[in-house]
Amino acid sequence: MSHTPLHTALSEVLALLRGVHWNAWVTHWKSAGTEAYSDHLLFQRLYEGSGGGPDIANQIDGLGERMIALFGQGGVDAVAVQERSATLLQGVLELPPIERALKLEALLLLELTRAVHLCEKTDLALDNFLRTVADERSTVVYLLQQRRKTDTGSGYG
């Protein structure tokens, strides 16, 4: 299959969503320090989509299904997505947990913006889906920024 700019952007969004999900889950497990309990709950909310948080599993699923609909069975390469996700995670591992999550969300929002610009005049349903995901991810950024304001330098990762 030929990789169009839209396919490339959507694959990057999918890899970032997978990375954000895995990072939140692992950070949930590793919460430590003075904010351990609140961070444990915050990151659980982020990876489960519970407590009013966006449902990242549905975002991943919805994007994957749309990519298959647009590009056929080859529209999602599981190995390529996982490898890219791992590379993205490796690039932020040295950051403290809140900063790591914010960095991943910033990369995701940037790539969502790129994907929206690539599809906004050709596929209204995909455009709406991506804008909704971006809006929901901005809620996560808000939650993480609020948590950053209370950061006491607790060390975990």
The rounded distance, in Å, linking the Cα atoms of 45 and 29 is 12
pLDDT score at 151: 66
pLDDT digits (tens, 9 = 90+) for 71-108: 999 999 999 999 999 999 999 999 999 999 999 999 99
pLDDT digits (tens, 9 = 90+) for 105-144: 999 999 999 999 999 778 889 999 999 999 999 999 999 9
pLDDT digits (tens, 9 = 90+) for 17-60: 999 999 999 999 988 888 888 989 888 988 988 777 789 999 99
Say yes or no to pLDDT of 68 above 50: yes
Which among 68, 63, 61, 24 has a CA at the least distance from the CA of 45? Answer: 24
